[in-house]
Amino acid sequence: MGRAFLDRHRWRREQAQRVTETRRVLYGEYLAALSRARNDFRVLARDLDTAPAERDASARTSFAPCYEIRYQVTITASVKVVAASEKTFRRLRDVRDLAGAGTLAGDERYSGGRREYEDALAELRTAMRQELGSDESD
């Protein structure tokens, strides 16, 4: 009975480690996808020459990879991380819509949308770090 208990305990610990590692990789991929899209929107918001239809198509293409990883997060993460992820996703989608519509970087709507995204992103990173057991002082 002692050996079975120890085996079960070890199995649970290993399962928890696998879940944490899966989340760590997924979160890194998600943050990278969000960052790539955000950088593309930054370029669009500074571009004065791109035609409206091309601008919108470019913004949507840049954002598309975020959807797939977002869905993976919704089935892998804790409720707290999912909520923060959804908020961040929506704020970045708002930035996408602004950049795609031709709103330029100097426009208050764009800079305000960007700030809302950055605030949501900070909350998401904090929730991810807490879930993964990372020390904020690292």
pLDDT digits (tens, 9 = 90+) for 50-61: 999 999 999 999
Give per-residue burial for 101-125: e unless 16+ CB within 10 Å, then b: ebbebeeeebeebbebbeebbebbe
Pick the range with the lowest mean pLDDT from 6-15, 34-43, 63-72, 83-92. 6-15
- H or E element in which residue 44 lies: helix 2-46
Contact predicate 104/45, CB 8 Å:
yes
| Cβ contacts of 69 within 8 Å, gap of 6 or more | 26, 29, 30, 33
Instruction: Give pTM, 2 decimals.
Output: 0.88
Q: With a cut of 90, say whether residue 62 has pLDDT above it.
A: yes
pLDDT bin (cut points 50, 70, 90) of residue 138 is very low
Q: Return the pLDDT at 12.
A: 79
As a dihedral over the C-alpha atoms of residue 32, residue 34, residue 36, residue 41, rounded to 10 degrees, the angle is -170
Question: Token pair for residue 18?
Answer: 């696998």
Cα atoms in the 13 Å half-sphere on the side-chain side of 134: 15
What is the predicted pLDDT for the residue at 137?
Answer: 52
pLDDT digits (tens, 9 = 90+) for 64-123: 999 999 999 999 999 999 999 999 999 999 999 999 999 999 999 999 999 999 999 999
| Cα gap 30→33, rounded to integer Å | 5
pLDDT score of 19? 87
User: What pLDDT does 127 receive?
Assistant: 97
Residue-wise DSSP of 98-133: HHHTT--TTSHHHHHHHHHHHHHHHHHHHHHHHHHT
